[in-house]
Chain A
Amino acid sequence: MAIINNSFFGIFVSIVVYLIGVFLFRKSNGFFLFQPLFVGMVLGIFVLWTIQHLTGASPTAVYDAYWQGGTKNHLGANFLFWMLSPATIAFAVPLYKRNDLVKKYWVELLLALIIGLFISLAVIYGVTKAMGLSDRVIASLLPSSATTAIAMPLAAGIGGEPAITAMTCILNAVIILALGDQLVKLFRLQKDPIGVGLGLGTSGKTVGSAKAVQLGSIQGAMASISLVVIGVVTDLVVPIFAKWVGLV
Chain B
Amino acid sequence: MDDSKKKSAVGKEKEKEPSNILVQIAIFVSVLFVSNILAMFMPKSFPVPAPVWGLLILYFLLTTKIVKLHQVEQMSTFLISIIGFLFVPSGVQLYTHLDIIKSDGIMLIIAIIISTIVLLVVISYTAKFIIAISSKIRGNGKAVSQEDNDGNN
Contacts and interface: CB of A to CB of B under 8 A. Distances in A.
A97 B9 contact: yes
A153 B47 contact: yes
A193 B7 CA distance: 20
B20 interface: no
Most buried by A among B76, B84, B146: B84
A171 B112 contact: yes
Q: Is the interface of A mostly helix, strand, loop or mixed?
A: helix
Q: Could you say which interface size class chain A belongs to?
A: 35 or more
B99 to A, nearest CB: 9
B22 interface: no
B66 interface: no
A108 B131 contact: yes
A96 to B, nearest CB: 4
Contacts of A84: 51, 83, 86-87, 90
Contacts of A33: none
A57 interface: no
Contact of A89 (B47, B51, B96): B51
B37 interface: no
27 contacts: A14-B92, A36-B84, A37-B88, A45-B95, A92-B55, A93-B58, A108-B134, A112-B127, A128-B111, A133-B104, A168-B112, A170-B90, A176-B116, A187-B124, A191-B145, A192-B128, A193-B148, A195-B127, A198-B127, A203-B120, A204-B120, A206-B87, A207-B83, A213-B80, A218-B149, A231-B49, A235-B47
Interface string B29-49: 001100100000000101111
B114 interface: yes
List the 8 closest A-B pairs by CB distance, nearest first.
A41-B91, A116-B126, A92-B58, A88-B51, A195-B124, A199-B124, A90-B76, A112-B127
B119 A163 contact: no
Given A36-B84, A36-B85, A87-B83, A108 B5 contact: no
A97 B10 contact: yes
Contacts of B85: 14-15, 18, 36-37, 40, 80
